[in-house]
């Protein structure tokens, strides 16, 4: 019980070594081992969530070393929620994509699982750590394993990933530089310790410079609007099992880091009182939402289109957070949860389509409702959540964001949200139209002579069941939004934000 914070990180890390060594010796224990490790991790995260809800924030000393010298893991409501999201999605994706992984990475399966475990450990570590430098190290662990996972995709993947690597390294370096400035000013790297030292020197330009650099670094990593150019290529060209893990998680985890830095390291009142800063960021977020929605319109491939929607969702979260009022921040935090699950849902559906058709281009998905009714049904639920139709969860976070925008007087943000919802309607209904009304293209793609357009040919059950669970979760999260907001999100937001 007391060791949950260490266990949730060590289980996948340990599994990575075991899987690698076993795979090297030709033994195939990767799947049970991976599922076991991620199940332990997810159970620890759930346990932590209940522990935090019962007792308040938990501070865990790694190796028993006292902070600020030792590294501390800090778990509050926000951390616990993001931990549960990350570990659950990682586990479900691993189970769902078993066949896809064997299909897509034959010969490299144990290596893929090793990298997968490392990436999960990195993401969980970023969330749970309470040490600014440790966060950098875990950021790079997740990023490096992520590069390797993404690069195992199709022909373009290597170049796209190399571009992501350049951008990602610059982002992480900016973060590191910002931490260096904080260290010069305070002599500490522990976030809680920093929080006690910084208020006395918060007017110093060096602190502001540190804050600016950390934010730029985090925004590059989370693909916030002007810094997003790496994302569509890196995620769009990657293999589906890798994209299914990284696309829902990385951007959300980085938005979490932004919130953590503002809430814990600096104080919200200091950050939100920097003149014009929040205005500029909300404007940028509005521009991000509108422009990337229109970029999505130009795509002729389901997966590519989803990557642009993903960027516009980052705009929702960053903009909602910088509205600076309680409603907006609640919306942003809730959207971390919702967007992670709905992105996962649509990417998994796209993975299933890719597995069956070998393509996700619009011209290849004609008549798909007849061929893969369950997959497309789940895709529809995911799409409705992204559009924001009640009772799916997407509606509720959007509602909070819109009300927050009105409260803060940022009408352009409200307009951008509504515009983006409208564009999402066009985006997804265009796909529905192609896949529902247009007859299945005979002889296209694989060109099997025996193809009968109407025959049901679903993805394997091991994929369909997790996909259906995810789609059901979208509705369940929507229905229980009130419970989640009251018990998890409200306590996560500092009381002085109104």
Q: Which two tokens stand for residue 228?
A: 């997003």
In the bound complex, what is the minimum distance in angstroms from residue 172's beta carbon to another protein?
A: 8
Nearer to another protein, 20 or 136 (CB): 136
Nearer to another protein, 25 or 106 (CB): 106
Nearer to another protein, 155 or 495 (CB): 155
Residue by residue, DSSP assigns 110-172 as HHHHHHHHHHHHHHHHHHHB-BHHHHHHHHHHHHHHHHHHHHTSSTTHHHHHHHHHHHHHHHH
Q: N- to C-terminal Cα distance for the chain?
A: 35
CA distance 199 to 196: 7
Instruction: For residue 417, give the nearest of 299, 305, 288 by alpha carbon.
Output: 288
Q: Note whether 105 binds another protein by CB under 8 A.
A: no
Q: Note whether 462 binds another protein by CB under 8 A.
A: no
Q: Are 409 and 417 in contact (CB under 8 A)?
A: no
Nearer to another protein, 201 or 426 (CB): 201
Q: Which two tokens stand for residue 492?
A: 């996560």
Contact range with another protein by CB under 8 A, out of 26-34, 177-185, 214-222, 373-381: 177-185
Nearer to another protein, 230 or 440 (CB): 230
Residues 119-158 that bind another protein (CB under 8 A): 133, 136-137, 140, 144, 147-148, 151, 155-156, 158
In the bound complex, what is the minimum distance in angstroms from residue 473's beta carbon to another protein?
A: 34
Q: Note whether 494 binds another protein by CB under 8 A.
A: no
Nearer to another protein, 166 or 461 (CB): 166
Count of CB atoms situated within 10 Å of the CB of 39: 15
Q: Note whether 1 binds another protein by CB under 8 A.
A: no
Contact range with another protein by CB under 8 A, out of 203-211, 323-331, 382-390, 466-474: 203-211
CA distance 191 to 73: 10
Contact range with another protein by CB under 8 A, out of 117-125, 172-180, 284-292, 342-350: 172-180
Q: Note whether 180 binds another protein by CB under 8 A.
A: yes
Q: Which two tokens stand for residue 226?
A: 């002007």
Q: Which two tokens stand for residue 197?
A: 């030292």
Nearer to another protein, 206 or 472 (CB): 206
Place of tokens 């799947």: 31
Place of tokens 């007849």: 370
Q: Which two tokens stand for residue 460?
A: 């394997």
Instruction: For residue 482, give the nearest of 403, 396, 398 by alpha carbon.
Output: 396
Tell which one of 33, 48, 75, 176 touches another protein (CB under 8 A). 176
Q: Are 369 and 435 in contact (CB under 8 A)?
A: yes
Instruction: For residue 83, give the nearest of 112, 118, 52, 54 by alpha carbon.
Output: 52
Q: Note whether 226 binds another protein by CB under 8 A.
A: no
Segment holding 41, helix H or strand E: helix 30-55
Nearer to another protein, 160 or 312 (CB): 160
Q: Note whether 362 binds another protein by CB under 8 A.
A: no
Identify the three-state secondary structure at position 73. Answer: strand
Interface ranges with another protein (CB under 8 A): 69, 133, 136-137, 140, 144, 147-148, 151, 155-156, 158-159, 161-162, 165-166, 169-170, 173, 176-177, 180, 183-188, 201, 204-206
């Amino acid at each position: 019980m007391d060791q949950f914070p260490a266990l949730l990180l060590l289980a996948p890390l340990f599994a990575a070594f075991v899987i690698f060594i076993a795979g090297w010796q030709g033994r195939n224990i990767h799947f049970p081992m991976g599922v076991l490790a991620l199940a332990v991790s997810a159970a620890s995260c759930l346990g932590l969530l209940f522990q935090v809800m019962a007792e308040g924030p938990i501070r865990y000393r790694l190796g028993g070393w006292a902070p600020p010298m030792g590294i501390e893991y800090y778990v509050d409501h926000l951390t616990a929620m993001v931990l549960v999201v990350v570990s659950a999605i990682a586990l479900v994706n691993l189970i769902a994509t078993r066949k896809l992984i064997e299909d897509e990475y034959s010969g490299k399966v144990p290596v893929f699982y090793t990298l997968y475990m490392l990436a999960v450990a990195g993401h969980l570590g970023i969330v749970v750590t309470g040490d600014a430098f440790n966060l950098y190290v875990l950021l790079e662990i997740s990023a490096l394993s992520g590069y390797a996972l993404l690069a195992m995709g199709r022909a373009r993947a290597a170049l796209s990933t190399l571009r992501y690597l350049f951008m990602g390294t610059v982002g992480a370096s900016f973060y590191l530089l910002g931490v260096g400035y904080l260290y010069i000013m305070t002599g500490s790297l522990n976030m809680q310790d920093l929080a006690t030292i910084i208020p006395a020197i918060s007017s110093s330009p060096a602190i502001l410079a540190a804050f600016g650099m950390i934010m730029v670094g985090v925004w590059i990593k989370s693909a916030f609007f002007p810094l997003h150019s790496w994302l569509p290529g890196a995620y769009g060209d990657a293999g589906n099992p890798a994209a299914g893990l990284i696309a829902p998680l990385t951007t959300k985890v980085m938005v979490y880091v932004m919130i953590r830095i503002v809430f814990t390291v600096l104080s919200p009142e200091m950050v939100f009182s920097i003149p014009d800063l929040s205005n500029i960021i909300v404007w940028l977020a509005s521009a991000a939402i509108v422009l990337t929605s229109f970029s999505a319109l130009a795509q002729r491939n389901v997966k590519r289109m989803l990557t642009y929607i993903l960027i516009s969702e980052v705009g929702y979260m960053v903009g909602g957070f910088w509205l600076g009022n309680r409603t907006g921040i609640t919306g942003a935090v809730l959207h971390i949860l919702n967007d992670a699950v709905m992105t996962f849902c649509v990417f998994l559906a796209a993975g299933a389509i890719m597995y069956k058709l070998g393509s996700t281009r619009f011209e290849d998905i004609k008549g798909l409702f007849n061929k893969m009714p369950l997959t497309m049904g789940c895709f529809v639920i995911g799409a409705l959540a992204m559009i924001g139709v009640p009772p799916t969860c997407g509606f509720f976070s959007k509602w909070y964001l819109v009300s927050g925008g009105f409260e803060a007087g940022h009408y352009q943000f409200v307009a951008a949200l509504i515009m983006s919802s409208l564009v999402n309607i066009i985006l997804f209904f265009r796909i529905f139209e192609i896949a529902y009304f247009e007859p299945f293209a005979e002889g296209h793609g694989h060109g099997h002579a025996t193809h009968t357009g109407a025959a049901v040919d679903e993805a394997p059950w091991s994929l369909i069941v997790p996909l259906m669970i995810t789609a059901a979760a979208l509705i369940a999260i929507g229905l229980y939004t009130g419970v989640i907001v009251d018990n998890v999100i409200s306590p996560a937001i500092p009381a002085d934000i109104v």
